[in-house]
């Protein structure tokens, strides 16, 4: 009986070790953040798209009148929106602050929390936007990707 129990425990431990290579890590998530931040600063839509899951969704909440409005975009809609926006922006700065990364206990997914500050000049007017971002990550075909970005636009005095 003892041999059977030892064999079972050993088999479970070995299978968990084999699956560990399929787990997402903090380093994976940081890499995705670094690459997508660089792509945003370079206004490179294709590089941003590379790190988005096929099932990616962006959910944006913002105040409208006395209510909170919500907009949902799939991967294609999101990439088209930013690709169309780049040429209309005269100057663009992108900054990420206060990032916290968590790998979920199952090791299959992770999340990050950050504040994104975008400063841009549009039609000669300088604008600052802050977005409190919540991003979800997973491995897709062995590659770390963002599966969802959600959050809300900060209102009021958001000047850095």
Output the pLDDT for position 66. Answer: 85
Average pLDDT over all residues of the chain: 87
88-101 burial, b at 16+ Cβ within 10 Å, e below that, comes to eeeebebebeebeb
Mean pLDDT on 99-106 = 97
Beta-bridge mates of residue 96: 116
- The model's confidence at residue 9, banded by pLDDT at 50, 70 and 90, is very low
pLDDT greater than 90 at residue 100: yes
Dihedral over alpha carbons 119, 149, 25, 37 (to 10 degrees): -20
Output the pLDDT for position 2. Answer: 58
- Is CATH 3.10.20.600 what the domain over 24-154 is classified as, yes or no? no
Rounded Cα distance, 76 and 57, in Å = 9
- The model's confidence at residue 18, banded by pLDDT at 50, 70 and 90, is very low
Output the pLDDT for position 91. Answer: 94
Q: Quick check: 35 and 26 in contact, CB under 8 A?
A: no
């Amino acid at each position: 009986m003892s041999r059977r129990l030892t064999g079972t425990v050993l088999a479970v431990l070995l299978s968990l070790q084999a699956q560990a290579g399929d787990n997402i890590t903090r380093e994976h998530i940081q890499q995705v953040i670094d690459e997508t931040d660089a792509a945003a600063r370079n206004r490179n839509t294709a590089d941003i798209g590379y790190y988005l899951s096929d099932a990616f969704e962006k959910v944006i909440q913002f105040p409208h009148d006395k209510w909170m409005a919500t907009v949902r975009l799939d991967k294609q809609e999101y990439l088209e929106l930013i690709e169309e926006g780049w040429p209309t922006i005269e100057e663009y700065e992108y900054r990420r602050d206060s990032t916290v990364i968590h790998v979920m206990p199952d090791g299959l997914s992770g999340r990050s929390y950050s504040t994104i500050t975008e400063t841009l000049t549009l039609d000669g007017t300088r604008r600052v936007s802050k977005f409190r971002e919540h991003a979800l990550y997973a491995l897709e075909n062995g590659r770390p990707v963002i599966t969802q970005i959600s959050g809300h636009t900060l209102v009021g005095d958001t000047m850095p």
